[in-house]
Structure 1
Amino acid sequence: MNTTRRRFITNTLSSGAIAGAIPTAARAQFLNAPRHGLPGTLKERYAKLDAILKQPVFKRELFADPVIIESIELLHNKKQYLCRVRSKDGHEGLSVSNAQQMEVLYPMFVKHIAPFFIGKDARDIEELIPAATVYENNYKAQGLAIWVPIATIEFAILDMFGKMAKKPIGLLIGDKIYNDRISVYQANGERDISAEETIDHLKRDVAISNAKAIKFKLGGRMSHAEYPVGRSEKLIPLVRKTFGDQMVISADSNGSYTPAEAIPIGKLMQEYKYAFYEEPVPFDWYEETRQVADALDIPIAGGEQEPSTHNFRWLIANGGLSIVQQDMFYFGGMIRCMQVARMANAFGKQCIPHISSTGLGYVYMMHFVSAISNSGPYHEFKEFNNELPYHCDTSSLRSDSNGVIQVPSGPGFGVDIDPDFLKKCSVLTG
């Protein structure tokens, strides 16, 4: 098979258009879209991507005067971690972090990341983020240890700027709002249960979310050992039989396979008309990811675990992925994620960002998706945070009867945290 790639969906489609579409038609766009060779030589492709990476993301021109960061606080209340940024002229921004990661990473946030930003002009956020990785040799902790704290700070800074400009975050990182409504897919993250139990849980959750697309887990998660044995081969046809041709279905192996194991699984997914195949091999097996993609027609998705813009550059230029899935927290915030989305868009590839489940991550994901032109038709939605008291004037933050969520349109990230909850927070000092 040649090294061409299937387009995930045509670039002209938006979430708003997809929301009312017939699911069978949406699946046809996944499966029947034309495959195109990557244009130009590899050198030319890299040059195109490098030019994209030099383009600014943050709309600095909206803010004429310096905004000097006076303080960055990491707040803690019960299981929640929040970041509060204040400027010297009295502006304030707030973000909700990934609680699961921040529980162990807060010393890194307090001692190695936050101090770098104090006294800096927040308008320089695009240059400050890479500079923060050099401060205190933070790059030696490449991965979640630096990118989750940096993302948390970036979100708070963008919230501050959004409130100053009276604009939602999407208009600070994008030219316009492409998607003000997001169609969700229902994800099931369970392994080590039978195929039948997985089906029952998917039915239960789809009845709540009204999603027109679903995704479930294959394999053993970065392990070739799966339990129950043969679960994936049984589950792939059973999900299609259960939910019928109207449902858009995808699956994620979380790097469970070698190429020799992944390709037959992918062919089975093709037989049952699946939309995409996520992380067929370990995420940092770049050549092997391309090898699997070359052998299959189903679009290959990945990037949830990827910390490097440069590695995304390789995967896009070499055709390893049809769908990029950078994580809002794990990859270090919206500015870096936008750079990847733009690179993908340059070669007709789609962006379906991953979002970690704790905090209010799905809200940040929605703001990001609102600002990209190459978003996929369905996006991941994780469970609601029922432990954090908050209010949103412009969205219920719940999916409607069509499985669609309204993106908040208020200033900043458009969600207000209960002031009494904030008053009860302690400030972590390391």
Structure 2
Amino acid sequence: MMKSNRRKFLSTALVSGMAVAMPGYGKHRMDHSDACLESQNPKYAQLDEVLRRPVFKKELFTHPVIIESVELLRHGRKFLCRVRSKDGAEGVSVAHDMMNTFYPVFVNHLQNMFAGLDARRLDEIVEKALIYNMNYRYQPLPIGIPLATIEFAILDMMGHIAKKPTGQLIGEIHNTHVPVYQATEFRERPVEESVELIKREVEKHRAQAVKIKVGALMFMTNDLDAKGPPGRTEQIIPLIRKTFGDHMPLYADANGYYQDVNEAIRVGKLLEEHDYRYFEEPTPCYWHHGTKMVNDALSIPVAGGEQEHSIYGFRWLLANDGLEIVQPNQYYFGGMVRSMQVARMAHAMGKTCTPHLSGDFGFIYMMHFVSAIPNSGPHIEFKGYTDVPIECKTSSLRILADGTIEVPTGPGMGVTIDPDYLKKCEVVKRA
């Protein structure tokens, strides 16, 4: 597949009038040499125009929605967020499991900035939160996950006020059903055992596409010279294709393992040979030039962005054709507003957005995000269902026979958390 074809595959705390795209955008530029290079690449101007457009639809609300309180709730090892407005509206979200580690950032660095702000200015609030109280020091996950949790609760609240699903607050509805692929792990298991476990997961969830792991995780090596299980990648790539047949869409994820670009390209060629659909994160996530070198050398689309925390990072990768598929994680990246900015930039460049999924409640947020983007991939990541007791009147929240999940159409996130479960939650106080 040629590059030209695969690209088709594709408020005291607020500063009045601030650019919603990036903190201080337009005021602080890169050094002179980088600025000169940008001036020679017209894609940057296109991307900057995209970033200037607001995401949240403030116009849906005729009156201010003043946030009265933001609470962090705890139920065992689960954390939730409850947001209330001065008019009595309420929204609730479920945090990523890593909130067990990052909850002090929530209560000490974010919680207090929201009271008194007009939730209609959500774009500005989210960007200001990234730098408020020196929060830029806590990027990416320590600030991204708490911020996303608050943003999800605000979107839930605003959806109930507007009587609209979240997707309609941040875009137009393009997808009423989300086709999913089954994400799998098992990287540390022998090849034959891995294949059997992958088959079991695919059959259990009736998935019509699957993603496997290649290479090893960076922390799984025992010594400085270790390179992961010898020969495993070379065995599993063709065996998975043989197991699932010629028509099953297959994807592969290296999780940034290959620090040698030539090795990443070699593996990418093997994936091409066996008709895999994309190669995710072939080189370390922070090595943008390495990712671009792999992308330039392969015909299989290169995907990435799970660990990216900077709008500037995605901007560079898109302006320089470093990726064909962007994968912002709504939790890690600080919410849907920022993720929508990435999806819009990708769309402007003719590229695909296939968001990364994490957290057992994450598939709820993923569905609403994907519902609102026109350039979603043919399959979106799925890892399983939540154990938080919820009710949804507009979707079964289960994979259907055609391999899709129906997006809830109720207000906000379209799901109701069991009131008795919420009553058992304790409010987490500031240290």
What TM-score does the superposition give when structure 1 sets the normalisation length?
A: 0.90
Once the two structures are TM-superposed, the CA of residue 209 in structure 1 deviates from its matched residue by 1.6
Partner of 1:364: 365
Partner of 1:89: 87
Is the Cα–Cα contact under 8 Å of residues 148 and 332 in structure 1 kept in the other structure?
A: yes
Q: Secondary structure at the match of 2:181?
A: strand
Once the two structures are TM-superposed, the CA of residue 344 in structure 1 deviates from its matched residue by 0.4
1:291 paired with 2:288, answer no
Once the two structures are TM-superposed, the CA of residue 9 in structure 1 deviates from its matched residue by 4.6
1:7 paired with 2:6, answer yes
In structure 2, C-alpha distance between the alignment counterparts of 1:303 and 1:415, rounded to whole Å: 28
In structure 1, C-alpha distance between the alignment counterparts of 2:218 and 2:43, rounded to whole Å: 31
* One of 334, 339, 342 as aligned partner of 1:340: 342
Q: Secondary structure at the match of 1:395?
A: coil
Once the two structures are TM-superposed, the CA of residue 228 in structure 1 deviates from its matched residue by 2.7
Is the Cα–Cα contact under 8 Å of residues 186 and 197 in structure 2 kept in the other structure?
A: no
Q: Secondary structure at the match of 2:359?
A: coil
1:267-313, CA deviations, whole angstroms, 9 ceiling, x for partnerless residues?
Answer: 00000011000000001111111111111100000000000011000
In structure 2, C-alpha distance between the alignment counterparts of 1:133 and 1:264, rounded to whole Å: 39
In structure 1, C-alpha distance between the alignment counterparts of 2:144 and 2:347, rounded to whole Å: 23
* One of 54, 63, 66 as aligned partner of 1:65: 63
Is the Cα–Cα contact under 8 Å of residues 81 and 150 in structure 2 kept in the other structure?
A: yes
Q: Any gaps of 5 or more consecutive residues in structure 1?
A: 12-39
Is the Cα–Cα contact under 8 Å of residues 5 and 322 in structure 1 kept in the other structure?
A: no
Is the Cα–Cα contact under 8 Å of residues 278 and 301 in structure 1 kept in the other structure?
A: yes
1:210 paired with 2:212, answer no
1:63-118, CA deviations, whole angstroms, 9 ceiling, x for partnerless residues?
Answer: 1111111100000012211100001111111111102x100111100110111111
Partner of 2:103: 106
1:7-28, CA deviations, whole angstroms, 9 ceiling, x for partnerless residues?
Answer: 35556xxxxxxxxxxxxxxxxx
In structure 2, C-alpha distance between the alignment counterparts of 1:320 and 1:246, rounded to whole Å: 28
Is the Cα–Cα contact under 8 Å of residues 186 and 206 in structure 1 kept in the other structure?
A: yes
What residue identity is the alignment partner of 2:257? S
What residue identity is the alignment partner of 1:92? E
Q: Any gaps of 5 or more consecutive residues in structure 2?
A: 11-37
1:47 paired with 2:45, answer yes
Partner of 1:185: 181
Partner of 1:247: 248
What residue identity is the alignment partner of 1:350? T
In the superposition, relative to structure 1, how do residues 10 and 304 fare at CA in structure 2: closer, same or farther (>3 Å)? closer
Is the Cα–Cα contact under 8 Å of residues 76 and 426 in structure 1 kept in the other structure?
A: yes
Is the Cα–Cα contact under 8 Å of residues 130 and 136 in structure 2 kept in the other structure?
A: yes
What residue identity is the alignment partner of 1:412? G
Partner of 1:233: 234
Higher relative contact order (CA 8 A, sep 6+): 1
Once the two structures are TM-superposed, the CA of residue 44 in structure 1 deviates from its matched residue by 1.0
* One of 141, 153, 158 as aligned partner of 1:156: 153
In structure 2, C-alpha distance between the alignment counterparts of 1:114 and 1:159, rounded to whole Å: 17
Is the Cα–Cα contact under 8 Å of residues 216 and 229 in structure 2 kept in the other structure?
A: no
In structure 2, C-alpha distance between the alignment counterparts of 1:119 and 1:5, rounded to whole Å: 49
Partner of 1:281: 283
Once the two structures are TM-superposed, the CA of residue 414 in structure 1 deviates from its matched residue by 0.5
In structure 1, C-alpha distance between the alignment counterparts of 2:5 and 2:156, rounded to whole Å: 37
Superposition pairs of residues 116-195 of structure 1, within 5 angstroms = 116-174=113-171, 176-195=172-191
In structure 2, C-alpha distance between the alignment counterparts of 1:65 and 1:402, rounded to whole Å: 42
1:390-427, CA deviations, whole angstroms, 9 ceiling, x for partnerless residues?
Answer: 11111111101221111101000001000011011000
Is the Cα–Cα contact under 8 Å of residues 184 and 378 in structure 1 kept in the other structure?
A: yes
1:20-60, CA deviations, whole angstroms, 9 ceiling, x for partnerless residues?
Answer: xxxxxxxxxxxxxxxxxxxx985311010001000011000
What residue identity is the alignment partner of 1:67? V
1:214-237, CA deviations, whole angstroms, 9 ceiling, x for partnerless residues?
Answer: 101111123674543111111000
In structure 2, C-alpha distance between the alignment counterparts of 1:292 and 1:228, rounded to whole Å: 22
Is the Cα–Cα contact under 8 Å of residues 76 and 427 in structure 1 kept in the other structure?
A: yes
Once the two structures are TM-superposed, the CA of residue 357 in structure 1 deviates from its matched residue by 2.7
Once the two structures are TM-superposed, the CA of residue 132 in structure 1 deviates from its matched residue by 1.2
What residue identity is the alignment partner of 1:88? K
Which consecutive segments of 4 or more residues in structure 1 shift more than 3 A? Answer: 8-11, 223-227
What residue identity is the alignment partner of 1:403? G
Percent identical across equivalent pairs? 54
What residue identity is the alignment partner of 2:126? I
In structure 2, C-alpha distance between the alignment counterparts of 1:112 and 1:41, rounded to whole Å: 37
Partner of 1:197: 193
Partner of 1:308: 310
What TM-score does the superposition give when structure 2 sets the normalisation length?
A: 0.89
